[in-house]
Amino acid sequence: MHAHSSAYLALIFSFSLLPLSGQEPATPPSFSNSPVIEENAKLRVLADVFDFTEGPAADADGNVYFTDQPNDRILVWSVDQSLLTFMKPAGRSNGLYFDQDGKLIACADEKNELWRIDVKTKEREILVANFDTRLLNGPNDAWVTPTGGIYFTDPFYKRGYWKRGDREQDGQHVYYLAKGVKEPIRVTDDLFQPNGIIGTPDGKTLYVADIQDSKTYRFDIREEDGKLVNKKLHFPLGSDGMTLDSAGNLYLTGKGVTVVSPEGAKIEHIPVPESWTANVTFGGKDRKSLFITAMDSLYVLPMKVAGTK
């Protein structure tokens, strides 16, 4: 399939752009004595001109890429506080994550594929198109290991734009694609609907949210083959998307953002003035800004802690 033209990078949206110090919710919460949020920080809207935001991921410089899935585009909020398009069309991409080479891993939901995109040329490589000769449900979120392997969730959310038959897989699972390997392996078979996923920087622990069962689990990653062992309930809450900070705290989304300690205790809740919070990541030059995608908006919140790299 043909790569998308690099001319899309130069297409800057004509809507009004709001700086980081711009518009605030009508009644922003006041954060004080938080273990993770800057003292007296306020949640701010950066832009609210989308249909449904998802998949935020920061590159090495702190620029945050995110998707507007109904409009089939990937956008970038840059460290100089401007908003521009990166790719349109974009395979109806949902979750995003950067690999160690600076390439963008995208859960391209339009044809149930996993992509790797060269951000400089816009050339894309289809990494996974099926499992066991059958169509995937629809890759949703992904995490890249320190060794370049990719874990991704494959829940089934029937899309109006699909040109396909019924679900072909026997369930909703998590898969692992080792670096340089053509075929993924299935690493869970007992979850109802895995969605959010993130791993620790040392590559030893993987968190997976079973959104339908309202639970988030932690697994040990077996070094020799990437399989998951020692499944444990980490927190009794599902999550659409998730991230980790440098202290090991886990950020879960849905109704606002819930922050959970490495021990599995709730330590903070960030209310977001939208009916649903889809995803979250750390970005900015120092990675101490928490970017939140929620419905038609992109938010930011100054943090005491930084995100993992």
- Cα angle 141-57-147, degrees, rounded to a multiple of 5: 70
Residues 6+ apart with CB under 8 A from 247: 36, 262, 305
* pLDDT value of residue 17: 39
One-letter amino acid identity for 308? T
Identify the pLDDT of residue 277.
97
What Å distances lie between residue 229 and 110, 133, 153, 198, CA to CA? 32, 26, 17, 16
Is there a contact between 279 and 220 (Cβ–Cβ < 8 Å)? no
Give the pLDDT confidence score for residue 276 in this predicted structure: 96
- Residue 283: left (phi > 0), alpha (psi -120 to 50), or beta? beta
Cis omega (within 30 of 0) on the bond before 35? no
Residue identified by tokens 């995003």 is: 96
Element (H, E) at 56: strand 53-58
- What's the confidence (pLDDT) of residue 141? 98
Angle (CA) 215-220-224 rounded to 5° is 145
pLDDT tens string 3-60: 332 222 333 333 333 333 345 444 556 688 899 999 999 999 999 999 999 999 999 9
pLDDT at residue 3 in the model? 33
pTM of the model: 0.91
| Rounded-to-integer distance, Cα 116 and Cα 90, Å | 12
pLDDT in the model for residue 15:
31
What are 211-236's pLDDT values in tens digits?
999 999 999 999 999 999 999 999 99
Report which of 83, 77, 81 is spatially closest to residue 57, judged by C-alpha positions: 77
160 confidence band (pLDDT: 50, 70, 90)? confident
pLDDT computed for residue 28 by the predictor: 57
| Count of CB atoms situated within 10 Å of the CB of 102 | 12
What pLDDT was estimated at residue 27? 53
- Phi and psi angles of residue 237, each rounded to the nearest 5 degrees, phi first: -155, 135
Residue 93 pLDDT more than 90? yes
Q: Residue ranges of the domains in the chain?
A: 37-159+167-302
Phi, psi values for residue 110, rounded to 5°? -60, -45
Asked if pLDDT for residue 252 goes beyond 60, the answer is yes
Cα–Cα nearest to 142, from 157, 130, 127? 127
CA distance 30 to 40: 6
Q: What is the pLDDT of residues 115-159, one digit of tens each?
A: 999 999 999 999 999 999 999 999 999 999 999 999 999 999 999
What is the distance, to the nearest Å, from the Cα of residue 258 to the centroid of all Cα atoms in its chain? 15
Q: State residue 19's pLDDT score.
A: 38
SS3 40: coil
Q: What percent of the chain has pLDDT over 70?
A: 90
Phi–psi pair at 111, nearest 5 degrees: -120, 25
Q: Which residues pair with 98 in a beta bridge?
A: 104
Does domain 37-159+167-302 correspond to CATH entry 2.60.40.10?
A: no
Cα distance between residue 33 and residue 31, in whole Å: 7
Which is more confidently placed, 294 or 19? 294
pLDDT tens-digit map of 162-193? 888 889 999 999 999 999 999 999 999 999 99
